[in-house]
Structure 1
C-alpha cells in the first residue's frame, strides 16, 4: 500500500508538470500575458467575474490563463480565492439610474430619453470568419462617443407613470432589509427573490440560457419584451463609520436588463405588466437577459400566476442545478478512484448471477425429473 501511495504521488506530480507544459503550449509561440487576456478576451473575463462573484479583471484573466481557457475551472479558481479575502464592510446598493452608459437599447420604446446607444455589439455582424484577424493587422479605429454622464432614467419608469407596471415593492416574499449572502450561507428553500437573483447571477450561463429559452418555447407561458438593456460603469460607495458619511471606493462595469411581461391581473391587482431582472458584471448581455427571463418565471407563484410543470417554474430544480461549480464537482468526482465501491458492486452482481444460475439449474432438474 505504501509503495502504491508513493507511486500515486509521483504520478500526480508528473501530471501537474505535464499540465503546466500543455498550458504553455509551443514555446516557439509567444506566451499570452494577463493583460492580453484582460483586454482581448474581455467577454470571457466578464463571465468569470460574474459567476465567480468577484470583480477583478486581472485575477479573472489570470484564472483563465491558469485554466487553459476552461471558464468553469477559472470560475472555480476565483471562488476559491475569494474565500481567502477578509470582509471589511458592505457597499451601498449601486444606483444604475446614474450609470455612464456605453450601450443602452430598448425593444419596447423607439424614442427614449438618452436615445438608443448601440455601443459595441455582435448584433449586426454577419457571423463570417474575418481572416484579416489572422494577419494581425491594425484594427481601424471606430468613431466613439463618450459615455452618457447625466442620469439615464430607466425605461420602465415611463410605464410607472401610468401605473401600468407592478411596483417592485409588491409581490416580494420577504421584507428583509439585508438580503442573505449566498457566498457565505448555503442556499435554503423557499428562497426570496434577492436570494434567487444571487443564485441566477452565479449560475452557469448555458444553464440559465437553456431555462430562459424554454420559457420562450412555451414551457413557461410568459412572453417577455426587453424593456431595457444597459451597459456602463457605476460608482461603488461605502459608508465609513468614522467619517459619518459614504465615500466612493471605485467603480464597476455592469450589465442590467429589465424585461416586461404581460400580467392578466388577479382579484386584488388590475391587469398590468410585471418585470424580470438581471444584473451581471461587465458586458454579459446573454446572461443578463436570460437571468431576467428566469427571474420572472420563478416569480409566477408569488404573482398568483398558474404554475405549470415546466422546469423554469420549479424553484428547486433551477436553483439547485444552475451552479456549474457544484455540478462539475458532482459530475467529475466519478472519474476519481472508486475501486472499493466497484468491487462491492461487482461482487453483488456475481452473487445475483450465481443465484439465478442456481435457480435455473434447479428448475431444469425438476423438469427432467418430471
Structure 2
C-alpha cells in the first residue's frame, strides 16, 4: 500500500526539472543531436531496437538521448511508444538467404561456400584506446559503397543436402504473437525465439556462457553468422500479390551442435538459432546457444538441471523491462509494509527475550 506524501507533487516536478538539467549536462558543450547518436552509436541504437521490438533507428536514438544513455530505460520508452501504434497486419516471412550481406563468417568451414566476409568488426582490433577520437571532429571522407554479394545461400544448407543436420520443421500450427498474448508454458519454439529475440543481451550472454562452461549440453560451433539488409514484404489482398515496403538490417546466427540420434533418427547435427535487429552479434550468438539449450526436451535428451535448460526460468526472467520494473518498484514508498514487518520483529523479540523487554 502506498501513502500520500505531503508536497510530493511539487517534489516530483522539481525532480523532473533536475533530470532535464542533468540530461543536458554542461550547457557550454554542444547538444548531442539524434542523428549523431543514430550514426555514431549505432550498436547501442540497434540494441534498443532489438529489445524494444520496434525497428526505427531515429526513435531508438531519441530514446537513448532521453534516457541519458541508459539502454534499459531507452528500451522501456520504445516499448511504451510501440503500444500506441496501430497494427495494420503481418509481414511475410523474411528471406534471410536473399540478404545483401555486409558480414558473413563461419567457424566450421575455412573455405565457406560463398566466401568469408569479415565486414565491420571489432574481432581483429587490439582493444587499445584511440585517443585520436578525442580530438576535434573533422569531416569524414565519403565512404565507398560496398560491393553487393547478391543472394548467398546459408552455409548449413550444404549440411542439409547430405542429411547431416536436422531439418527445421516448416508450416504447422499458427505462430503465436508474444506481443499480443501472455507467455504460457510449455512454450513452443517460435514463442521461445520471440522471447529470446527481445530478451536482455547481458542476461542471455550469461546463460550462453554458462552452457559453454558445462551447465548444459551445448558444445556448439558457429555454422554461420551473417549480417545483412533484408527486404520486408507483405501480401495485399487488394492487389493479390506481395510488395516490398521496407529494408532492415539483421544479424542471424546458426550454431551446429552434436546429436547422437535415436532409434528413429540417425546421428546428425542439430542447430541453435538467433535473429536480431541491427548488428548485434553477441546477442544473436547468445540467443542461438540458449535456444539450443532449451531444445533438450523436444530432442529427447536429458533435461538436466542447468539454468539455461529451464524454460520457465529463462523466459520468465530474460525480459529486462519486466525485470527492471519489478526490481525498481522497491524504490517506491513501502512505509506500511515495513512498519508491519518492524512490529512483527519487535513482537518476536519480546517473546524470545522477556527480561530484555522489561
If the length of structure 2 is used for normalisation, what is the TM-score?
0.96
Q: Would you say 1:121 and 2:102 are equivalent positions?
A: no
1:147 shift after superposition: 3.0
2:35 maps to 35
Q: Contact (CA 8 Å) 2:259, 2:268: kept in 1 or not?
A: yes
Selected match of 1:288 from 284, 287, 295: 284
Tell me how large the CA RMSD over aligned residues is: 1.8
Hey, what's the Cα distance between the residues in 2 that align with 1:351 and 1:361?
10
SS of 2:258 mapped into structure 1: strand
Hey, what's the Cα distance between the residues in 1 that align with 2:353 and 2:307?
44
Q: Contact (CA 8 Å) 2:350, 2:357: kept in 1 or not?
A: no
Q: 1:144 to 1:109 in 2, by over 3 A?
A: farther
Q: Would you say 1:184 and 2:180 are equivalent positions?
A: yes
1:110 shift after superposition: 1.5
SS of 2:276 mapped into structure 1: strand
1:175 maps to 172
1:55-134 superposed matches below 5 A: 55-134=55-134
For structure 1, list consecutive stretches of 5 or more residues without a partner in the other structure: 363-370
1:143-182 superposed matches below 5 A: 145-149=146-150, 151-169=151-169, 175-176=172-173, 178-182=174-178
Hey, what's the Cα distance between the residues in 2 that align with 1:136 and 1:152?
41
Q: Deviations over 1:275-321 (max 9, x none)?
A: 10000000000000000000001001110111211001100110001
1:221 maps to 217
Q: Would you say 1:327 and 2:356 are equivalent positions?
A: no
2:50 maps to 50
Hey, what's the Cα distance between the residues in 2 that align with 1:119 and 1:104?
7
Q: 1:299 to 1:29 in 2, by over 3 A?
A: same
Q: Would you say 1:241 and 2:242 are equivalent positions?
A: no
1:305-316 superposed matches below 5 A: 305-316=301-312
If the length of structure 1 is used for normalisation, what is the TM-score?
0.93
1:136 shift after superposition: 3.1
Hey, what's the Cα distance between the residues in 1 that align with 2:355 and 2:233?
76
1:327 shift after superposition: 0.5
Q: Contact (CA 8 Å) 2:251, 2:281: kept in 1 or not?
A: yes
Hey, what's the Cα distance between the residues in 2 that align with 1:76 and 1:361?
50
1:140 shift after superposition: 6.7
Hey, what's the Cα distance between the residues in 2 that align with 1:122 and 1:361?
65
Hey, what's the Cα distance between the residues in 2 that align with 1:241 and 1:71?
39
Instruction: Look at both structures and tell me which one has the larger radius of gyration over its CA atoms.
Output: 1
Q: 1:361 to 1:21 in 2, by over 3 A?
A: closer
Hey, what's the Cα distance between the residues in 2 that align with 1:329 and 1:62?
21
Selected match of 1:339 from 301, 312, 335: 335
Q: 1:27 to 1:158 in 2, by over 3 A?
A: same
> When you count helix as a share of all residues, which structure comes out higher?
1
1:112 shift after superposition: 2.5
Hey, what's the Cα distance between the residues in 1 that align with 2:214 and 2:352?
49
